[in-house]
Structure 1
Amino acid sequence: VSAHSDRFQYLQALVTEFQDTDSAEAKEQVLANLANFSYDPRNLSELRRLQVADLFLDMLTEDNETLVEFGMGGLCNLCLDKVSKSHILASGALNLVINCLSSHREETVLSAVTALMYLSCAASHADITSAPVVECMVRFSLSNNRRLRNLATIFLEDYCSEQQVREAQDLHTALGIPLPHSTHT
């Protein structure tokens, strides 16, 4: 028995457990494990066969914030793989990922911003840099949270035109949204 088939059976058991359990805690634990496995390229073919990307996508609309966080984290990990990226884009997931930008959980938001960068391509670029997303990134770039501020700044510099950023900044100022007070610079 190869390590390859052992890995498949183990991942299949995780997916089955996730689908069969009614315990929220067990679901969270299994999803966290699947998200971790999605970080390792050696697991990609098994995860594809088990349609784990779709499982992660399904989590993005859950009421349970922990399931959303792990689903977004797993999806973010899978976005680096070209085949998974194509599947995620083809499944119309961009809006689900964009919706995660408004999560109250830092890890969910960080994963969503990162996933949008990974999912950017000629076909998705206009959606990923739509005005609401750019405005959101401008807001994040002013955050007291250093990780979020840095990630949003990279997004604005690497994925948006100067004009898009300027328009978002002008709108931000026009709306009179007070900037968060920085406790340290």
Structure 2
Amino acid sequence: MSQKQQDLLETGRLEYLQALVTEFQVTESPDAKEQVLANLANFAYDPKNYEYLRQLQVLDLFLDMLTEDNETLVEFAIGGLCNLCLDKINKDYILEADGVAPVINCLSSSNEETVMSAVTTLMYLTTPQSRQQTTALPVVECMLRFSLSANRRLSNLARVFLEDYCSPDQVEEARNLSKHTAVGIPLPKD
């Protein structure tokens, strides 16, 4: 492929993503919003799209959608963030935008895919600087409860989180606290 063809393809990609963002912003239809957000989340899989998605402020769009009442929008938004946060620039942006707290809030969703994406996103967002927030005591308590879930995917993912991202002291402290309180994030429905 010639450079001119490649440039044309890249311009087309940006224009298409811009059209999706515009459609999301102007449509009144909840179904259309869900479909467009699902498409944007799918485009977030491809590192070739990262720069365009940053340019179009799709990371902010995903972060904003985490607080929506529509569970489907939340599911697609956290899925999109999960896809994007492996990239260092995107990860730093999400962390600087105080994105950890809304991701943690997704742990209480009744939607299994939302919870799975939230746990995975917390793993990807964990850095030496963010570890205190991503592995805060309520998160560790939640992961302990998830590790006991009948849902194998969730219990396995929670165990990986506890083993790979938390210190033994954090896990022990959460275990001890859990014995004495009934407070916690509810498990998603199986």
TM-score for the superposition, normalised by structure 1: 0.93
Q: What residue identity is the alignment partner of 1:175?
A: T
Residue 24 of structure 1 is aligned with which of 21, 24, 30?
30
Q: What residue identity is the alignment partner of 2:26?
A: D
**Residues 136-155 of structure 1 correspond to what in structure 2 (within 5 A)?**
136-155=142-161
The alignment yields a C-alpha RMSD, in angstroms, of 1.2
Residue 102 of structure 1 is aligned with which of 99, 108, 118?
108
Residue in 1 aligned with 2:187? none
Shift of 1:115: 0.4
Count of aligned residue pairs for this structure pair: 177
Shift of 1:176: 6.8
Shift of 1:175: 3.4
Unpaired stretches in structure 1, ≥5 consecutive residues: 178-185
**Residues 1-20 of structure 1 correspond to what in structure 2 (within 5 A)?**
2-20=8-26
Q: Cα deviations across residues 45-100 of structure 1 (Å, max 9, x unaligned)?
A: 11111010000000001010100010010011110111111110000111100000
Shift of 1:42: 1.1
Q: Cα deviations across residues 92-115 of structure 1 (Å, max 9, x unaligned)?
A: 111100000000000000000000
% identity of equivalent residues: 65
Shift of 1:169: 1.5
Unpaired stretches in structure 2, ≥5 consecutive residues: 1-6, 184-190
**Residues 80-95 of structure 1 correspond to what in structure 2 (within 5 A)?**
80-95=86-101
- Runs of at least 4 residues off by over 4 Å: none
Structure having greater relative contact order (Cα 8 Å, sep ≥ 6):
2
